[in-house]
Structure 1
């Protein structure tokens, strides 16, 4: 089978090979030599999802090899996941197995953890959950000091909270985040902290100018970068992420950031004065003195209008989860901007995926 266990001893070699491959992709753009930020070789992933495979009266965690998608691969040890998840997996399996009301028609278990140790477990069933299930699950939640969510078709029961609390350490400071079940969060916490630190260093101190951030998620970058600027204008389309961002701004006493629930394309259109939006009725866009744009788009990269729009600004900090679409966007952006820094962040070790960071300054601007 092509599904193989993780081998930490091979990580340095695999990372070097991946760095060479990604660097070769950008060779035609003559970017600076990349700074490489490795991941821990194991226990790096703060999220994990497992199917539950039942055999008689027992069950086990399972994953499926794409080469043999019908054959479950039993998972008893999963060093890819955070230590918090790894240490919880077997005791939780045993506790659920001791009560039929908790194991009956249990289909999947999702784990969400943080660097600070907070953990949320979602139990997904092929049956409706009742008061008996809730009482039993409450006991398990208390035993392990975790949050539990029960899900079935058209049903969601939250025992405690439906989010975890992260305390992200960056440059000697901790930033607090609510990270909601089902919402996007960076999966590799330690590499995420390195990405935030890198972005902060590129932004510098700008007390008289403003930052525009597209695709801001739950404020992962917005909050640490807010202290570098007079104000931040941020946009995000996900309702869950917008809710989390507002809560995270409050927890971190960030008062100079405005969050808009709209797509980057819509905000670009508004800033270009092509369209007006009711959501912007109380926002004076003309009052912003934007000189830096931060973007962290989805794998599709920037759309054509957004790419052309951000090219107007003196400085661009671009975080990308897809080197191919980043290359496409840089082919255009490097016509107006010079790439001053290039970084590779290994968010997903042992895979071909690589997170990239590029800092661009408009040509002719010192």
Structure 2
């Protein structure tokens, strides 16, 4: 193997280093020492390295040239590479030149552009959600017409998972909520001798508002998050892609059973929450106001009408669809990495609660403007 021999020629303040042989790991140190010595000389302002007689050049030789370039630049001197062939030039171009490259300043989008991008994203999300709703309705109608079939016991299994485990927590929260409403109202109304109206307040508030809303929030945290996590995990595991490849509709196989189960579960749990909350209010009125339970129930039956129950159960249906479609949409849109499943689960809960509160406010406004309770 020919060693790298160097010779130095001086032309005023310029030093020409002629290199002969291979500049590889076993011979490149000699070139490095030569260039380092020239860097220390104050009468040298420019160094020219002649590669005309260089054979092979490996990564160690490239590193030597790059180190010399940086050292000379730091000392205010120039390094020029002369007579490079194509192979040497290609190898040297792969090395960083050592000069800091500052990225161009990007001020980012303006506030108007940010708003526009956000509106476009929301529009795309609503379009995708609408497509999912349409597919679910279409596949559900096909199942009802017996042109398509669901997995065996899929709806019953989902009802058991979503509903049975939620009965206790919904009943407990409804009982505490009914007690709180009745106690707060009893303390104030008793001062005016109007304690009998506590029954009206508990009945209306539980049937019209608190039972549907509280049940929806509980199911959002339990069922909505579960749907998003399950579908997101299936997306990561390529199970949804496998269903599509087999010609099975993921919407019919995964979404329709969950939406159908929520359609049954939410009104049933809401009805139970209404009853438990009213019972809790009756106990408080009996203990605090001394009101007979029969008096309380007669007052509730007289004041709470079928329209009030229809309003509460109607809202519970809408809330169920919000929870189901939001969780399904975000779960199916999850990327194929594990962190996206967590993001989809979190977004499913936050978005569902946000939409539920908005829809509840719209319901309350429309019904109030349509006419106060009798």
Q: Which has the larger radius of gyration?
A: 2
| TM-score normalised over the length of structure 2 | 0.21
| TM-score normalised over the length of structure 1 | 0.22
Q: Which one has a larger percent helix, Structure 1 or Structure 2?
A: 2
